[in-house]
Amino acid sequence: MNYAVVMAGGSGKRLWPLSRQKRPKQVLRLLEGQTCLRHCFDRLLKVFDPRNIIVMTNASYMDIIRESLPELPTSNMIAEPAVRDTASAIALAAAALAKTDPNATMAVVTADQVIKPAEVLQQALSDAVAFVNKNPDAMLTFGIKPTFPSTQLGYIKCDQPQTCTECTNTIYTVEAYKEKPDSQTAQEYLESGKFLWNSGMFVWKAKTILQHIEKFLPDAVEPLQKIQAAWNTPDQRRVLWEYFPKLPKISIDFAVMEKAEKVYAIKLDCHWLDMGSFSALADIVTSDQNNNIVVAGSSELLDCKNNIIITEDKDHLIAAIGLENIVVAHTSDATLICNIDQAHRIKEILELLDKHGGQKYL
């Protein structure tokens, strides 16, 4: 059968104080009053049976994920007892699916991406599933057609386009994965037309990705075998909590994708955004006449321009005078105020809070 696995375990520190250790960015109601996770789930419903949509998340996020997706059965949620990066999270999902369905095809998507129009991804997912079901040894990823020479995103180099009789989209061979480039290299990538932004989304057979993890990440083999053997037994939780933290902490790109053969890609020509920072809001929220990005139930701005002002509290008024290039992020117990150009230093603030006993604000 075909399954979708939603990766919803990231914390989103760059969106503090809105996102917290127990309230990740994917459940922030920043998209017209809805969460990124909700939008992601709704996109998948057009392609997958809702009974076959699995959400992977941190154990501490389980309750808040249920609030965002109340219709999702508890059995469709997998709680990761430790933060081990994408390779281990994907391996866990694959091991669980392969235990109950040895021929499972799994799509891996992330919960914190904005994709418009949704139909572009939905068609690509349908095509990718069809391609992998026909070519079970293949692993397929999705590349975003770049719109500018980004130095903050990884790239994949694609060539050798081919048609698939079951697919609407062209299938490309992935020749190489490239890390975040400098500005000159990014410009060269853009002009070549052969490089796509790495979306971090995939489709493959569960057994195929497990074979690759066994080959390229041998330290994961024993813990995964223990977890899989105990899955759907009374020992599932105990074994998961004992062995999952022993899995290597590494991304799936570094662990597998950069080394594997038979990797293919579908190009997504769409508006795509990783909701990882306050500046990203400029791409999804319409600014006012003074280029202020405001997400608030009530606000009054006087002589303000080029600011990002945000609160999820619909009853809280934000008023500002004479601000320029400032981020104001308000919550019930913490408020961030900083220059937009300094927002990348939020992690330093969090380190200071931790050092000075402010753990309750993290």
- Taking 70 as the threshold, does the pLDDT of residue 302 lie above it? yes
Q: What's the pLDDT at 11?
A: 67
5: tokens are 């696995």
Q: Which amino acid is at 303?
A: D
User: Positive or negative, the Cα torsion across 174, 175, 178, 182?
Assistant: negative
Q: What's the pLDDT at 84?
A: 87
Among the ranges 16-30, 220-234, 265-279, 289-303, which has the highest mean pLDDT value?
Answer: 220-234
Q: What is the pTM of this model?
A: 0.85
- Beta bridge partners of residue 106, listed in sequence order: 3, 204
Nearest to 161 by CA among 151, 152, 170, 153: 170
Q: What's the pLDDT at 358?
A: 85
Select the more confidently predicted residue: 302 or 150: 302
Q: What's the pLDDT at 202?
A: 97
Nearest to 183 by CA among 153, 145, 150: 150
Q: What's the pLDDT at 245?
A: 95
Residue 225 CB partners (closer than 8 Å, separation 6+): none
Domains annotated on the chain, with CATH: 2-274 (3.90.550.10), 278-361 (no CATH)
309: tokens are 């002002």
User: How large a percentage of the chain has pLDDT more than 70?
Assistant: 98
Select the more confidently predicted residue: 24 or 153: 153
Name the one residue in this structure whose structure tokens are 């975040």.
Answer: 180
- 147-187 pLDDT, tens digit each: 888 888 899 999 999 888 889 999 999 999 998 899 899 99
- Taking 80 as the threshold, does the pLDDT of residue 279 lie above it? no
Length of the chain in terms of residues written: 362
- Taking 70 as the threshold, does the pLDDT of residue 207 lie above it? yes
Give the whole-angstrom CA distance, residue 290 versus residue 303.
9
The answer to whether 9 and 56 have CB atoms below 8 angstroms apart is yes
Q: What's the pLDDT at 197?
A: 93
- Taking 80 as the threshold, does the pLDDT of residue 7 lie above it? yes
Among the ranges 5-14, 132-141, 304-313, which has the highest mean pLDDT value?
Answer: 132-141
Q: In the structure, what pLDDT confidence band is assigned to residue 12 with cuts at 50, 70 and 90? A: low
Q: What's the pLDDT at 361?
A: 87
Q: What's the pLDDT at 63?
A: 87
Mean pLDDT, the chain, as a whole number? 90
For range 274-300, the mean pLDDT: 81
For range 347-354, the mean pLDDT: 90
The number of C-alpha atoms within 13 Å of 349 and in the hemisphere containing its C-beta is 17
- Taking 80 as the threshold, does the pLDDT of residue 22 lie above it? no
- 80-112 pLDDT, tens digit each: 998 888 999 999 999 999 999 999 999 999 988
Task: Give the lowest-confidence range in 18-22, 93-97, 120-124, 358-362.
Answer: 18-22
User: How large a percentage of the chain has pLDDT more than 90?
Assistant: 63
